[in-house]
């Protein structure tokens, strides 16, 4: 198949994320990838600024991850998890329990972030059911959030950007408060939490859990908010006896400068979701962690079982990749490395402040965001990024970078310079 043929067949038959068939937007075939470089089928090389949506933290074609998978393929690639178990799953669960906040002690594996959110929501509902409070089936969350594309997860995404009107008859109505206004690094007093408290006072008896993305609201707006706010939410959840679910799918494994974004606030949720970077971007795997209290309550009350069990639960290849990825991360001086990337992103993106099209530039850990006045025109901007040798995928008014952690200072400079050149042409 030559490149033109491939593109034509792709246009005709293949859906892409948030896409239309026949829309004439550019799609670029990748032939291979290595380190921080994507190699296109036409021979061009791009510096990756996206880590394939926060996941490929060690870059592509990593010898250690490749080897871990080769070894596991030689043993067993997949086996059902009902009634059977295996070393990669047990070792990975144990490692996740060690790395996450201490109260989190049990792990439920699933295939994608969205499903891990469904699992978290079902766990919260089953927890209250087992405690004799079956009316608690709703969730309280923040506007501008993103938790995935399945129905439960969608119901707690931002109602506007999540297009809730389109699915109004099937989506459960949840409770929302405005996105936090106090920025990361700023103090935030209880006044900011007034509407949060009001919702809990009014609807607490129907609410199973608060669900939110800690510190970084990612796909819903790239909003970095105050650690005080998160601490305040934890306190309110305790006061009103509501569970707290932290969705660390985007933020987990160092991206925000701490291993988990919760660590910025020194809090622990009752349920935590991880995904995306869990396998270093090699395979799809997610996990939902809970406290002893939550798992013991679900397991001892009616119906005595947690009602979920994916076919590919704890896939051994995915678990082996995750174990190798976590070892690479935690054996490295990841915190200093993320601080290095943060400094380079701040320096490299600072000139964007001067552009008339830009309203804000913000950086946290290995996340750099340039917020524009107007939504970008993907049809012109996407090929411009490619022509400038970088892979950046904006959404709406947000152009952002979250490169693989292995990116060098030289490549970071090339990435931010190219971004600046493209933005100054729009
Ligand atoms: C990406 C994302 C999800 C959904 O994960 P999928 O693997 O795409 O299903 C959920 N929550 C957050 C915070 C995410 O960034």
Tens digit of pLDDT for each residue in 65-104? 999 999 999 999 999 999 999 999 999 999 999 999 999 9
- CA 202 to chain CA centroid, Å, is 31
DSSP string, 80-94: --SS---HHHHHHHH
Backbone phi and psi for residue 175, each to the nearest 5 degrees, phi listed first? -100, 135
Q: What pTM does this model have?
A: 0.98
Closest CA to 69 of 326, 320, 323, 328: 320
Q: Around Cβ 290, how many Cβ atoms within 10 Å?
A: 28
- Taking residue 28's Cβ as centre, other Cβ atoms within 10 Å add up to 17
What pLDDT band is residue 375 in, cutting at 50, 70 and 90?
A: very high
3-61+332-425 under CATH 3.30.365.10, yes or no: no
pLDDT at 34 over 90: yes
Per-residue model confidence as pLDDT tens digits over 119-132: 999 999 999 999 99
Q: How far apart are CA 125 and CA 207, in angstroms?
A: 9
Check if 282 is active-site.
no
Q: What is the mean pLDDT of residues 355-370?
A: 98
Question: In this predicted model, what pLDDT tens digit does every residue of 217-273 receive, in sequence order?
Answer: 999 999 999 999 999 999 999 999 999 999 999 999 999 999 999 999 999 999 999
CA 340/CA 334 separation, integer angstroms: 10
For residues 104-121, give the mean pLDDT.
98
- CA 278 remoteness from chain centre: 10
Six-digit token string for 125: 């509902």
- The pLDDT value given to residue 380: 94
Question: 133, exposed or middle or buried, with CB in 10 Å at 0-12, 13-18, 19+?
Answer: middle
The pLDDT value given to residue 141: 98
Query: Of 132, 137, 176, 133, nearest to 156 (Cα)?
Result: 176
Q: Residue 333 above 90 pLDDT?
A: yes
What CA–CA distance (Å, rounded) separates 269 from 272? 6
| Mean pLDDT, the chain, whole residue set | 97
Domains 3-61+332-425 and 75-330 share a fold: no
Determine the average pLDDT of the residues in 387-415: 97
CA of 147 to the centre of ligand 1 (A): 5
Please give the distance, rounded to the nearest whole angstrom, from the Cα atom of residue 89 to the centre of ligand 1. 21
Domain-by-domain residue ranges, the chain?
3-61+332-425, 75-330
pLDDT of residue 22: 85
The DSSP symbol for 179 reads P
What's the rounded mean pLDDT across residues 374-402? 96
Percent of the chain with pLDDT over 70: 100
CATH number for the domain whose boundaries are 75-330: 3.40.640.10
d(CA 200, CA 133) in angstroms, rounded, equals: 16
Read off the DSSP letter of residue 355: S
Residues within a 6 A CB radius of ligand 1: 112-114, 117, 146-148, 213, 218-219, 247, 249-250, 275-276
Task: Give me the pLDDT at residue 318, please.
Answer: 98
Mutate to test the pocket of ligand 1, among 54, 113, 395 (most ligand atoms within 8 A of CB): 113
303 upstream amide cis, omega within 30 of 0: yes
Nearest atom within ligand 1 for CA of residue 248:
13
> Which H, E and C letters describe 315-377, residue by residue?
CHHHHHHHHHHHHHHHHCCHHHHHHHHHHHHHHHHHHHHHCCCEEEEEEECCEEEEEECCCCC
Distances (CA, A) of 239 to 229, 242, 264: 15, 8, 21
pLDDT for 282 equals 98
For tokens 């904006």, name the residue: 394
Contact present, 270 and 291 (Cβ < 8 Å): yes
**Above 90 in pLDDT, residue 1?**
no
Angle formed at CA 154 by CA 133 and CA 135, multiple of 5 degrees: 10
**Angstrom distance (rounded) from CA 368 to CA 50:** 11
pLDDT over 90 (residue 426) = no
Query: Considering only CA atoms, which of 209, 214, 145, 222 is closest in space to residue 179?
Result: 145
> How many angstroms separate the alpha carbon of residue 425 from the centre of ligand 1?
32
As given in the structure block, the two tokens for residue 290 are 């809970």
């Amino acid at each position: 198949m030559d490149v033109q043929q491939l593109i034509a067949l792709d246009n005709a038959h293949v859906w892409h994320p948030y896409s239309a068939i026949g829309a004439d937007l550019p799609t670029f075939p990748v032939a291979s990838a290595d380190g921080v470089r994507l190699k296109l089928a036409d021979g061009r090389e791009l510096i990756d600024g996206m880590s394939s949506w926060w996941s490929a933290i060690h870059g592509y074609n990593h010898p250690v991850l490749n080897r871990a998978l080769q070894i596991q393929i030689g043993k067993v690639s997949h086996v059902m998890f009902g009634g059977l178990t295996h070393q990669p799953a047990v070792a990975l669960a144990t490692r996740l329990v060690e790395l996450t906040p201490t109260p989190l002690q049990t792990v439920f594996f699933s295939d994608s972030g969205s499903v891990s959110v469904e699992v978290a929501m079902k766990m919260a509902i089953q927890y209250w059911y087992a405690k004799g409070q079956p009316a608690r089936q709703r969730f309280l969350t923040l506007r501008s959030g993103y938790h995935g594309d399945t129905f439960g997860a969608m119901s707690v995404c931002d109602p506007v950007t999540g297009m809730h009107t389109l699915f109004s008859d099937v989506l459960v109505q949840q409770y929302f408060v405005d996105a936090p206004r106090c920025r990361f690094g700023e103090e935030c007093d209880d006044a900011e939490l007034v509407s949060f408290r009001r919702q809990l006072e009014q609807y607490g008896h129907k609410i199973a859990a608060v669900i939110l993305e800690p510190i970084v609201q990612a796909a819903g707006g790239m909003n970095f908010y105050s650690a005080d706010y998160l601490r305040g939410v934890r306190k309110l959840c305790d006061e009103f006896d509501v569970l707290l679910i932290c969705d660390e799918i985007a933020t987990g494994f160092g991206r925000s400068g701490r291993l988990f974004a919760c660590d910025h606030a020194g809090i622990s949720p009752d349920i935590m979701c991880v995904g995306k970077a869990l396998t270093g971007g090699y395979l799809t795997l997610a996990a939902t962690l809970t406290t002893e209290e939550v798992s013991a309550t679900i397991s001892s009350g009616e119906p005595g079982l947690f009602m979920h069990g994916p076919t590919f639960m704890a896939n051994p290849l995915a678990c082996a990749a995750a174990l190798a990825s976590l070892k690479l991360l935690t054996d490295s001086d990841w915190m200093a490395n993320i601080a290095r990337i943060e400094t380079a992103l701040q320096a490299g993106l600072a000139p964007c402040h001067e552009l008339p099209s830009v309203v804000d530039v913000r950086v946290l850990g290995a996340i750099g965001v340039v917020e524009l006045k107007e939504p970008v025109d993907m049809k012109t901007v996407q090929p411009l990024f490619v022509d400038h040798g970088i892979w950046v995928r904006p959404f709406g008014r947000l152009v952002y970078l979250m490169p693989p952690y292995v990116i060098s200072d030289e490549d970071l400079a090339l990435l931010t310079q190219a971004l600046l050149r493209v933005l100054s042409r729009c």
